[in-house]
Amino acid sequence: MSDFIPVNEPLFNGNEKKYLNQCIDSGWISSEGDFVKKFENTFATRMKRKHAIAVTNGTAAIDVAIESLEIRPNDEIIVPTFTIISCILQIIRIGAVPVLVDSDPLTWNMDILKIEEKITSKTKAIMAVHIYGLPVDMNPILELCSKYNLKLIEDAAEVIGQEYMGEPCGSFGDVSTFSFYSNKHITTGEGGMVLTDNDNIAEQCRELRNLCFDNKKRFVHKRLGWNLRMTSLQAAVGLAQLEQLNQFIEKKRWIGKIYNDLLNDTEHLELPLECTEYSSNIYWVYGVVLKRTLNFRASDVIDKLLDFKVGSRPFFFPIHQQPVLAQRNLYLNETYPVAENLSQRGLYLPSGLAITEQQIVRVVDSLNKVIHK
């Protein structure tokens, strides 16, 4: 299907091939290559952080971040229910408890007004997950962390290059995480990063990603870690992508503006917010929510768009409705209506960096035909 419009297509218009060739020519293609450290240092500088630790993917970054905070069994971490399951995997595995918060219906981020009521004596951290291009309102969360002596885990995977009140997303957490999957603003194919200003947390993260080798006796281990090392090949691509981040952000906002202009008069759709008082949308993906005036769900639209050779994706399936967690008797009687509505009626349209204006026009035309048919 040569005329199929995929939901995402990345761009490689910079120094990617040049840096990859340097890796290959030098023979340093593993995690020992120079590009890993270059990528880490450059990324840390861009995000105004002291330490950056590159890992194999965004899920690994979250796992390492949580492990570095030494969360114990039965500890509680407050998490949005409307997010990818990666956010709670390590919490569950160590026997801690993700305590869930519903979404704000306008920003789709966690509802900050519902966080404090979930804090108990067992709460150790809040995980703020920036969703789809608009950041979480961070100042109220920072105030709660200070008031209750909580750690802040910031998942900035979907907002690389975004800012909150002029400061980089990823600069706020005790530990912050990023993903460089192929649909992110910059990609290494797979890949992730952990950021922190805390020397001890940074050292733990470096050890945890590298099997916790003993510094004096390499094959002696006093702690269980993972092999989560990023390769120099990945880092070479990441560095080249990072050099283009400003252009990529400009392109994403251009994509969002065209969609907004073309869909503004479509009465049955809720469009993403263009801005809040603290940030302008970076449109990691361009999402829409079907209004209740339509008697069908996002899954129906996704299926019908395929008839027009247009790819699309559903919104996140809420954490509290995940079958794997129901099997553990978690969240059986909990309901979060905003997140449930977003899940049932939300989808995102093709919005990768390689998309053209002509393709966007075709997507919108196809979407209107599906809705009105």
Cα angle: 146, vertex 339, 359; to 5 degrees: 110
Q: So where are the chain's domains? A: 16-242, 245-372
pTM assigned to the model = 0.95
- Does the pLDDT value for residue 372 go beyond 90? no
- For domain 245-372, which architecture applies? Alpha-Beta Complex (3.90)
Tell me whether domains 16-242 and 245-372 share a fold.
no
pLDDT category of residue 367 using cuts at 50, 70 and 90: very high
pLDDT per position as a tens digit, 159-182: 999 999 999 999 999 999 999 999
Residue of 43, 311, 317 whose CA lies nearest to 183: 311
Provide the mean pLDDT of the chain: 96
pLDDT per position as a tens digit, 50-107: 999 999 999 999 999 999 998 999 999 999 999 999 999 999 999 999 999 999 999 9
Q: Give me the count of residues in the chain.
A: 373
Pairing outcome for strands 76-80 and 123-129: parallel
- Report the topology of domain 16-242: Aspartate Aminotransferase; domain 2 (3.40.640)
pLDDT for res 331: 96
**Taking the mean position of all CA atoms in its chain, how far away is CA 247?**
20
- Does the pLDDT value for residue 266 go beyond 90? no
- Does the pLDDT value for residue 203 go beyond 90? yes
Say which residues have a Cβ less than 8 Å from residue 147's Cβ, sequence separation at least 6.
Answer: none
Provide DSSP, 231-278: PHHHHHHHHHHHTTHHHHHHHHHHHHHHHHHHHTT-TTEEPPPSB-SS
